[in-house]
Each structure stands twice: as C-alpha cells, then as structure tokens.
Structure 1
Amino acid sequence: MLKRVFTAPDPGRVRLRFATRAVLGIGLAVAVCGLAGHSLAGVVTGGLAALLALFTVTDPTVRGQALTTALLPVVGLPVLTAAVWLHDRPAVRDLAVLAVVGLGVYARRWGPRGHSLGVFAFMTCFAAQFLRATADQLPELYASVLLSVLAAAVVRFGLWCYETRLPPAVVPAAPGGTGLARVTTRQAVQATAGAGFALVVGQLVSGERWYWAVGATWWVFVNTASRGETLVRSFRRVLGTVLGIGLGLLVAIPAQGDGVATALVVLVSVFGIFYTAAVSYTWMMLWVTLLAAALYGLLGVLDAGLLALRAVETGVGALGAGLAVALVLPVTTHDVTGARIQQALRCVHACTAQAAARLAGTEGADPAPKVAELEQLLAGVRLSVAPLVHPLNPVLGRKRRARAVLALLDDCAREIRGLALVAADPEASRDDRLAAACRRVERAVEALTGGGGDIAVHVPPAATEPALAHLHGLERALAELAAPLRAPSGSPSAGT
C-alpha cells in the first residue's frame, strides 16, 4: 500500500500540483482569517471552507468550477445557521442532519456541481457540531467562510490556474432512470438510513461526539455507486482511521500546545490528503485523522481517550453504511461495473479515431482530451472492481477475471497513450495499414460493447512504425478482453 502511494503514476505532476496548491490556498485563507482578527473557531471554519472549495469542486471547465465555487456559501451558510440555531433542540437538530444527508446525496443527480454543493452543505453542518458554534459567533463564521472561499478562488483561478479543461470527474453513479430506479435516489435513501443508524448508536456511544459516526457514514457514500464499493470503502475508512490514530498518538499529542509544531502537522496533513486522495482512500483517511487530531490539539481537548472514541464512532458510521447498502435498495457491483467498462471501451475507440485523424492531418483532431477522459473512466472501473480484487474476497474465479479485465484495460490505456504521443509528432505520417488497424479496433469495440459477434484476432507482421505497433497491441488487448467479459458466470462483477 505504501509503495503504491509513492509510485503511482502522476502524469503532468497533477497530484503534486493539486496538493501544493491546496496548501497555498488553505494557508492563505487561514492567514486572511487571522489578520481579520477571527477567533480560533473562525479560523478553523475558514480553513475547512477553503479545503472543501479546493477539494470538492470538479467541474470539467474552469468557468464551471468558478461558478460552483461561488455557489458554495449560498448553500453552506443557511445550513450553518440552521445547525447552530438547533443546538438546543436535539430532536429537530437530528432530523435536520438527516435531511441534509439525504438531500446532499440526492443532489449528485445534477453531476459534479450537485455533488460539490451537497458535500459543502453537509460539512458546514458538521463544522457547527465540531466547533459547538453558538449564535453569537455566526457573523464571524459567515465572514470566515466568505473570506476563505474567496482566498481559495484567488489561488485556484488567479495565482495558480493550471486547468484549461479537465476530463469529466469520476461520476459515482449514472443518472438514468426515474424514481427508485435512479441510482442517486437509491443512494440518498441508503445514506439517510445509514446516517440514522449512525446518529442513534453514535449518541449512545457519546452524546458529544456522535457527529463523527454520521460523518463516517456520509463520507463512505462519497464516490461510491454499488454495494461492493461501499463495503470496501467502509473497511478502508476504518483502517485509515486506526492508522491515523496511531500516528496521532506519536505526532499530534506531543505537538499539542506548540503552535509551530501543530501548524507543521496541519500543513503536512493537508498536503497528504490532497496528494493521496486519488490513489488510496486508506492513506487519505490517515491524513484526515491526523489533521482532526491536530485541530483538537489546537482546541486543547486532545488526548488518547478522544482518539479512541473517534475510532469507535468511525466504526459505528462504517457499520451504518454497510447495513444500509446491504439491506436498503441495494445496487449491485455487476450493473455499475458493466456500464463503466462499456464507457471505457467506447472511449478507447474515440481515442483511436482522434489519433488516426491527427496522423491523417485532419485540422483540430486531438486525442489528448480523450486520453485524459479514458484515465478518468478507468479510475471508475477500478473503483467498481475493487470489491472483487480485495484480498478478503473469497470468490477466486471472479477475482481472477476482474484482475484480467483490469490488466487488459491498462494495456489498452498504455497503447492509447503511446499512440497519442506518436500522433503529436508533426513528422509522423499514416498509411493504409493504419486505417485498416483503426477499423479493426472499431469492430472489436463494437463486438465487446454490443454483446455479440466474434472478434477476429489479426496477426500482423512485426510493425516498425510506432503508430502501427501501438494499434496492433491495442487489437490484441481487445481480443483478449472477450474471454473474461463473456465468462459464463457473467461480467467480472457478477453477483456482487
């Protein structure tokens, strides 16, 4: 796991830039709040708002990102107000929390913007519980949120805007269907049920820190679409939390009371969250837990007992999520994975077509955006297949097929990346063999996505031209995909 985090591909150093920019943006937000004379609660609220503005906004265009960022306070501040005013009305507060959970998940039907606004709304509600904010603090907290979102926007869209157009973010669920046939609707019901369990049991465990359990349930549902994905994410959340608590005992508790040391822990934790989020949820949770420990250290309440309580409440939240996806309107991994694999295969064809057009000299043809989109789609496939390749999965046949599918899709992606690089070379040219190979790739994709027809295995002579070599490698990978995708027991995700 450690090796995977530090050796995972980082094309264009995107993860490194993402994490570095986050540290700068959050640091600027905290500094602005401090210069404005805000209290510790205001500074923490501002830092959280900046973190969310930089982390959750994933619209495919910069203009879309800017609009979503501007809308964050519009959604978050009313929720913050309600959460603060309902502190003294536990029954109404609990119902409001569950409503925020359900509506926040339901908002994913509107794509990345709905997802971002739903997360921000829930986290402002969470922050009110975390800080035990009072009504007289609301003006300061409003100012902190507004200043911090603005500071994050200045860094993201002004000082360090490295995005021009991004591929679509990994969408946790397709928005098709109506009513309970729509996956986002089913997830909203599941999340509300799981949060209800976490809220009740969490309050039995601790009347003060119950929101940790609800928060764990909420975040387990983020970026998942099926029962298997949610169960694996629950396990990884608990594991990351336990590892983070161990690190907190070694680092955060000794740093408590030392402002410089605590600030360093916070900065390292923020960097770790952003750098590892795309490759390891376990490691991201380790850094989140260490960040939470450092913040409690700033508030002067950190001790080993508090960290132990966080582990218990996290377990309660993960259990709530697991029970909800298993018992309430379950969505199987089969349906989600099948759809994502088909999307990835169609994107393989689109990448090939763009590369061939570029080699033919077609003006405006560019495979690069499609290659980036393919990487996002493959990330979604890996997310779906994770339950099947997990070490604890006892069904060895499905595990082997899932691994074979992942390996062959990775082969396709490697050949596509190579083909795109060749196409970018102005000296590269094409011939009739390249056109024929592209047609064979198209037929292979149609056979795999249409569910019928055989894929002819073409055995070409050794290709000396790089473009042909990549296309021939792509043909072989697509032909080999037919066996695991058409296995008698179904797709590699069948039955999960």
Structure 2
Amino acid sequence: MLKRVFTAPDPGRTRLRFAARAVLGIALAVLVCGLAGHSLVGAVTGGLAALLALFTVTDATVRGQAVTTALLPAVGLPVLTAAAFLHDHPVARDLTFLAVVGAGVYARRWGPRGHSLGVFAFMTFFVAQFLHATTGLLPELYAAVLLSVAAAAAVRFGLWCYERRLPPAAVPAPPGGTGLARVTTRQAVQATVGAAFALVAGHLVSGDRWYWAVGATWWVFVNTTSRGETLVRGFRRVLGTVIGIGLGLLIAVPVDGAAVPTAVLAAASVFGIFYTAAVSYTWMMLCVTLLAELLYGLLGVLTPGLLAVRLAETGVGALGAALAVVLVLPVTTHAVTDAWIQRALRCVHACTAEAAARLAGTEGADPAPRVAELEQLLARVRLSVAPLVHPLNPAYGRKRRARRVLELLDDCAREIRGLVAVAADPEASHDARLAAACWRVEAAVEALTGGGAVPAHPDRPLATEPALAHLHGVERALAELAAPLRSPSRPPLVGA
C-alpha cells in the first residue's frame, strides 16, 4: 500500500502540485482569518472551507472551476444558518441533516458542479456540529467562509493556476437513466437511509459525537457507484481510521495542541490528503483522521477515549452505508463496470484516431485532451473493478481476470502516451500503414464493445517507426483483452 502511494504515476507532477497548492491555499486562508481577528473556531472553519474549495471543485475548465468556487458560499451559508438555528432542536436538526445528505447526493446528477456543491453543503452542516455552532457565532463564521474561499480562489486562479497550461480533463459523467433507474437517484435514497441508520446508532454510541457516524456514511458514498465499490470504500475507510488513530496516539496526543508542532503536522496532513486522494483512499483517510485529531488537540478536547469514540462512530457509519447499498435499491457491480470499460475502450480508439490525424497534418487535431479523458476513465475503471481485485474477494478466477483487464488497459494507455509523444514531433511522418493500423484498432474496439469476434493480432516484425510500433502495441493489447473480458467457456468477468 505504501509503495503504491509513492510509485504511482504522476504525469506532469499533477498530484504533487495539487497537494502543495492546497497547503499554500489553506495556510493563506487561516492567516487571513487570523489577521481579521477571528477566534480559533473561526480559523478552523475558514481552514476547512478552503480545504473543501480546493479539494472538491473538479470542473473540466478553469472557468468552470471559478464559477463553482464562487457558488460555494451561496450553498454553504444557508446550510450553516440552518444548522446554527437548529442547534438546540435535535429532532429538527437531525431531519434537516438527513435532507442535506439526500439533496447533496442527488445533486451529482448535474455533474462535477452538482457534486462539489453537494459536498460543500453537507460539510458545512457537519462542521457546524463539529464546532457546536450557535447563532451568536454566525457573523464570524460567515466572514471566515467568505474570506477563506476568496483566499483559496486567489491561490488557485491567480498565484498558482497550473491548469491553464494543461488540456481540460473530461471528467466522466455518471450513468444516465430516469427515475429510480438513474444511479444518482438510487444513491440519494441509499445515502439517506444509511445516514439515518448511522444517525440513530451514532447517538447510541455518543450523544456528543454522533455526527461522525453520519460523516462516515456520507464519505463512503462519495465517488462510488456500485454496491461493490461502496463496500470496498467502507472497508478502506475503517482501515485508514484505525491506522490514523494509532498514529494519533503516538503523535497528536503527545503534541496536545501545542501551536507550532500542530501547525507543522496539520500542514503535512493536508499535503497527505491531497497527494494520496487519487491513489489510496486508505492513506487519505489516515491523513484525514490525523488532521481531525490535531484540530481536536487545538480545541483542547483530544483524549484516547475520544479516539475510541471516533473509531466506533466510523464503524457505525460504514455499517450504515453497507446495509443501505445491499438492501436498498442495489446497483450491481456488473452493469457499472461494463459501462466504464466500454467507454474506456472507445476512448482508446478516439486517442489513436486523433493522434493519426495529427501525424497526417490535419489542422486542429490534438490528441492531448483525449489522453486526459482516457486517464480519467481508466481511474474510474480501477475504482469500479476494485471489489473484484480486493484481497478479500474469494472468487480467484474473476480476480485474476480483472487484474488482467487492468494490466491490458494500462498497456493501451502507455502505448497511446508514447504515440501522442511521437505525434507531437513536427518531424514525424504519416503513411498508409498508420491509417491501416488505426482501422484495425477501431475494428477491435467495435468487436469488444459490440460482442463481435475480435481479430487476432498477427505476428509481425517489430516496427522501426515509433508511431507504428505504439499502434501495434495497442492492437496487441486489444486482441488479448478478448479472453479476460468474455469467453464462452468461462463465467462473465463481472456479473450476477
């Protein structure tokens, strides 16, 4: 697990820049709140608002990201107001919290912007419980949110806007449908039911920290679609929390809220959250847990007993999510995985066609955005296939075949990256063999996605031209994909 975090590909050092910019943006937000004379509660609120603004906004274009960031306070401040006014009315507060959960998940049907606004709304209500916000604190909290989002935006879109130098990444949209056939609708129902279970059980565990259970249920549902994905994510959340609590006993408890070491460790935790988020949910949760422990240390309430309560509440929340996805409108792994793999395969063909057009001198041909889209889709395939390759999955045959699918898709991506690098060379040439190879790639993709017979990849002499060699590599990987994806003598890769 540790090796995966530090050896995972980081093209253009995007994850490194993402994490470093987050530390800078959140530090600036906390500094601005301090200069404005805010209390510790205001500074914590501001820091968390900046973290969310930098973490959750994932629109494909910089302009879209700026619009979504500007909309965050419009969603968060009304929710914060409701949480503060309902602080002394437990039943109304809890029902409102569940409504925010359902609405936040349902908003994902509107793509990245809906997802970002939904997360910000939920976390605003959660933070109000975390800080025991009352109406008397609202003016300070309003100012902290506005100042911090502005500070985060100044860093993201002014001081360090590295996205302007990158092609816009096409974030895969969730599967469509209508009514209860729409995955986001089903998830909204599941999340609300799971959160209701977590809320009731969380109150039984702790009357003061019950909201941890609801938060655990919420975050298990984020960026998952199928039943299998959600169960795996719940397991990883508990595992990350256990490791984080163990680390907190060694680090956060002895520090006991001392300002300088807490600030340094909090910065390291923020860096870890952003750097590991794309490659390891377990490691991200470890960093989140350590950050929460440090914040409780600042607030003067961190004890080993509190950490035990957090672990219990996390387990309750993960259990609530698990029960909901298994018993309430379940979304099977089969349909979701098949859809993502098919989209990735079609994108493989689109990448090769665009690169070949670039080599042929077609004006405006640019494969870079397609490659960015393919990386996003492959990340989504890995998430979808995760239940099949999980160590606890007893179906060894499916596990082995799922790993083979991932390996071959990664081979396709690697060859395409090489092809695009060749196509970027103005001296590279195009000939009829490239066009023929692209046609064969298209035929193989059509066969894999349409159920036809995949053409066998013939043994050819190694191509000396780099572009042709990369295309032959794509052909070879596609031909080999036919066996693990579907075979009449084997059960389906994913299924009933």
TM-score (norm 1): 0.98
User: Contact (CA 8 Å) 1:179, 1:185: kept in 2 or not?
Assistant: yes
- Whether 1:299 and 2:299 are equivalent positions in the alignment is yes
Q: Corresponding residue for 1:492? A: 493
- Whether 1:398 and 2:383 are equivalent positions in the alignment is no
User: Contact (CA 8 Å) 1:241, 1:286: kept in 2 or not?
Assistant: yes
User: Contact (CA 8 Å) 1:170, 1:379: kept in 2 or not?
Assistant: no
What is the Cα deviation at residue 397 of structure 1? 1.2
What is the Cα deviation at residue 486 of structure 1? 1.2
Cα-to-partner distance string for 1:161-204 (whole Å, 9 max, x where unaligned): 01134312354x31x11110000000000000000000000000
What is the Cα deviation at residue 53 of structure 1? 0.3
Q: Aligned partners of 2:156 and 2:55: how far apart in 1?
A: 11
User: Contact (CA 8 Å) 1:98, 1:195: kept in 2 or not?
Assistant: yes
1:114 partner letter = G
* Length, aligned pairs only: 493
Q: Aligned partners of 2:493 and 2:105: how far apart in 1?
A: 27
2:218 partner letter = W
Q: Corresponding residue for 2:208? A: 208
Mean CA deviation greater in 451-460 or 399-408: 451-460
Q: Corresponding residue for 1:436? A: 436
What is the Cα deviation at residue 494 of structure 1? 1.5
- Whether 1:54 and 2:54 are equivalent positions in the alignment is yes
Q: Aligned partners of 2:258 and 2:357: how far apart in 1?
A: 60
What is the Cα deviation at residue 492 of structure 1? 2.0
Q: Corresponding residue for 2:382? A: 382
Q: Aligned with 1:477: secondary structure? A: helix
User: Contact (CA 8 Å) 1:213, 1:315: kept in 2 or not?
Assistant: yes
Q: Aligned partners of 2:491 and 2:427: how far apart in 1?
A: 45
User: Contact (CA 8 Å) 2:257, 2:294: kept in 1 or not?
Assistant: no
- Whether 1:152 and 2:145 are equivalent positions in the alignment is no
Q: Aligned partners of 1:456 and 1:3: how far apart in 2?
A: 36
Q: Aligned partners of 1:230 and 1:454: how far apart in 2?
A: 33
Q: Corresponding residue for 1:334? A: 334
Q: Corresponding residue for 2:170? A: 168
Cα-to-partner distance string for 1:256-303 (whole Å, 9 max, x where unaligned): 131001111110000000000000000000000000000000000001
Q: Aligned with 1:224: secondary structure? A: coil
| Overall identity of the aligned pairs, in % | 80
User: Contact (CA 8 Å) 2:112, 2:171: kept in 1 or not?
Assistant: yes
Q: Corresponding residue for 2:116? A: 116
User: Contact (CA 8 Å) 2:415, 2:470: kept in 1 or not?
Assistant: yes
User: Contact (CA 8 Å) 1:242, 1:311: kept in 2 or not?
Assistant: yes
User: Contact (CA 8 Å) 1:228, 1:387: kept in 2 or not?
Assistant: yes
Q: Corresponding residue for 1:463? A: 463
Cα-to-partner distance string for 1:376-407 (whole Å, 9 max, x where unaligned): 10000000000000000001111111011111
Q: Aligned partners of 1:410 and 1:131: how far apart in 2?
A: 45
Q: Aligned partners of 1:350 and 1:458: how far apart in 2?
A: 23
Q: Aligned partners of 1:113 and 1:491: how far apart in 2?
A: 35
Q: Corresponding residue for 1:450? A: 450
Q: Corresponding residue for 1:347? A: 347
In structure 2, the gaps of 5 or more residues are: none
Q: Aligned partners of 2:185 and 2:59: how far apart in 1?
A: 21
Q: Corresponding residue for 1:422? A: 422
Q: Let me know the Cα RMSD of the aligned residues.
A: 0.9
Cα-to-partner distance string for 1:336-391 (whole Å, 9 max, x where unaligned): 01000010001000000011011111111111111111011000000000000000
2:156 partner letter = R
Q: Aligned partners of 1:383 and 1:191: how far apart in 2?
A: 19
Cα-to-partner distance string for 1:449-470 (whole Å, 9 max, x where unaligned): 1122332323322211111111
Q: Corresponding residue for 2:126? A: 126
Q: Corresponding residue for 1:220? A: 220
1:492 partner letter = L
Q: Aligned partners of 1:418 and 1:360: how far apart in 2?
A: 17
Q: Corresponding residue for 1:101? A: 101
Correspondences of 1:174-253 after superposition (within 5 Å) = 174=175, 176-253=176-253
Q: Aligned with 1:163: secondary structure? A: helix
2:338 partner letter = G
Q: Corresponding residue for 1:322? A: 322
What is the Cα deviation at residue 157 of structure 1? 0.2
Cα-to-partner distance string for 1:211-231 (whole Å, 9 max, x where unaligned): 000000000000000000000
Q: Corresponding residue for 2:91? A: 91
Q: Aligned partners of 1:21 and 1:460: how far apart in 2?
A: 48
1:157 partner letter = F
Q: Aligned with 2:340: secondary structure? A: helix
User: Contact (CA 8 Å) 1:217, 1:318: kept in 2 or not?
Assistant: yes
User: Contact (CA 8 Å) 2:441, 2:475: kept in 1 or not?
Assistant: yes
Q: Aligned partners of 1:168 and 1:432: how far apart in 2?
A: 31
Q: Aligned partners of 1:168 and 1:144: how far apart in 2?
A: 32
Q: Aligned partners of 1:127 and 1:170: how far apart in 2?
A: 29
User: Contact (CA 8 Å) 2:60, 2:170: kept in 1 or not?
Assistant: yes
User: Contact (CA 8 Å) 1:458, 1:475: kept in 2 or not?
Assistant: no
Q: Aligned with 2:374: secondary structure? A: helix
2:351 partner letter = C
Q: Aligned partners of 1:95 and 1:4: how far apart in 2?
A: 41
What is the Cα deviation at residue 490 of structure 1? 5.4
